[in-house]
Structure 1
Amino acid sequence: MAQKASKTLAARNSSVLLRTHLITLALHILHLTLHLTFTRPRSLKYYYILALPTLVIEFYLDRIGRPTYTADGSTIRSPGEDLGAAGLTEYMWDVLYWTWGCIGAVSVFGDRGWWLWLVIPAYSVWLAYSTFTGMRSGLAGFGAGEEQGAGTGAESKRQKKMEKRGGQRMQYR
């Protein structure tokens, strides 16, 4: 059972990537079939422009998550990155899933469904803003903010308790 964690991660990554590729293939075939069958001939410009980032993301996720094996195929050289990791990988999955939903909406409702894709940049702006404000409040105790906080009585609960007991006492042994 050597490298059990690596084997588990490699198996999970392989299954996730296979499922992702099959869903993407099915959605694109469905969209193109419905588009070419039931609609008047029109440009696929929006489809190409808005589906291209998803295909690039999917290629990137495949590149970092695909396990590599030795030449004989018996042992794992690298299980690949964890595709369930938080942060940028999680954001890429969100973009991928949202674009799948947009392709489904366009297949059913027509080209106006591509307007749903504007949620992705709006979500990015909100995520950046919330990260910035969280970081700013987390760093409020450093630098100039600390000097202002000392005069206004911004003390922790521990400091207040120590004040109530008569202050901090030094004990020498």
Structure 2
Amino acid sequence: MAQKAAKTLAARNTQILNRTLSVSLAVHAFYLLVRLILFRASFTRNSFITYLLLWLPAAFIQFQFERIGRPTYVSGAAGERKELKKSGDDLEAKGLTEWMWDVLYWTYGCTILVAVLGDWAWWWWVVIPLYSGWLAYTTFMGAKGGMAGMTDSAGVPQGGASKRSQKLEKRGGQKMQYR
């Protein structure tokens, strides 16, 4: 079973991307149907432009997920079976990918709120830059705190010897036996 991990990742990425596309289409359809049918009077040109502008980051993120996560296949020998060429990057990775999922889900939620409650609900979208700033701050402070342990109070780098090594040095060092 060659490339089992790559094939598993490719199958999982395909499933995640197909589900994301379905959810995105459902959210768009819900927004447009509710705003065009139920709240037609409040659906103005300005509200549609706001909708498009605030969906641009989510559309960009979805495009990036498709680009980096969608597996690619090549035809096998004599056109038999398609072989996996590239499984794509892991869409469940931590860090930037996780943040991009957060932005996408928050945009879905804001769009549903706007469809039901009105245009003022777009203000909930402001949470995204605030959340991003908080993540950047905590990451920076965590890295700064991690670096603080590398020096002593005078600013001189610590030796980095383990406690075991320090105990052995106190006892006179490690003794070698020769035969």
Q: CA deviation at 1:169?
A: 2.9
Alignment correspondent of 2:71? 67
Structure 1 length normalisation: TM-score? 0.84
Structure 2 residue runs of 5 or longer lacking an equivalent are none
Q: After the TM superposition, which segments of 4 or more aligned residues of structure 1 sit over 6 Å from their partners?
A: none
Alignment correspondent of 2:121? 113
Structure 1 residue runs of 5 or longer lacking an equivalent are 151-155
Alignment correspondent of 2:2? 2
**Cα distance change on mapping 1:172 and 1:158 into 2, 3 Å:** closer
More displaced, 104-113 or 68-77?
Answer: 68-77
CA distance in 1, matches of 2:173, 2:28: 72
1:169 matched to 2:175? The reply is: no
Q: CA deviation at 1:46?
A: 1.3
Deviations 1:58-103 (A, max 9, x none): 0110110000000345110001111011111111011001101101
Q: CA deviation at 1:170?
A: 3.1
**Cα distance change on mapping 1:168 and 1:125 into 2, 3 Å:** farther
Alignment correspondent of 1:19? 19
SS of residue matched to 1:5: helix
Alignment correspondent of 1:57? 61
SS of residue matched to 2:111: helix
**Cα distance change on mapping 1:115 and 1:75 into 2, 3 Å:** same
Structure 2 length normalisation: TM-score? 0.81
What is the root-mean-square deviation of aligned Cα atoms in Å? 2.4
- Percent identical among aligned pairs is 46
Deviations 1:127-152 (A, max 9, x none): 0110111111111144xx534368xx
Q: CA deviation at 1:158?
A: 3.9
1:36 matched to 2:36? The reply is: yes
SS of residue matched to 1:85: coil
SS of residue matched to 2:85: strand
Aligned length: 163
CA distance in 2, matches of 1:168, 1:149: 28
Q: CA deviation at 1:117?
A: 0.6
CA distance in 1, matches of 2:109, 2:37: 20
SS of residue matched to 2:148: coil
1:85 matched to 2:93? The reply is: yes
**Cα distance change on mapping 1:20 and 1:172 into 2, 3 Å:** closer
CA distance in 2, matches of 1:147, 1:116: 45
SS of residue matched to 2:2: coil
Pick one of 134, 139, 146 that aligns with 1:131: 139
Question: What is the identity, as a one-letter code, of the residue corresponding to 2:126?
Answer: L
Alignment correspondent of 2:111? 103
CA distance in 2, matches of 1:148, 1:168: 27
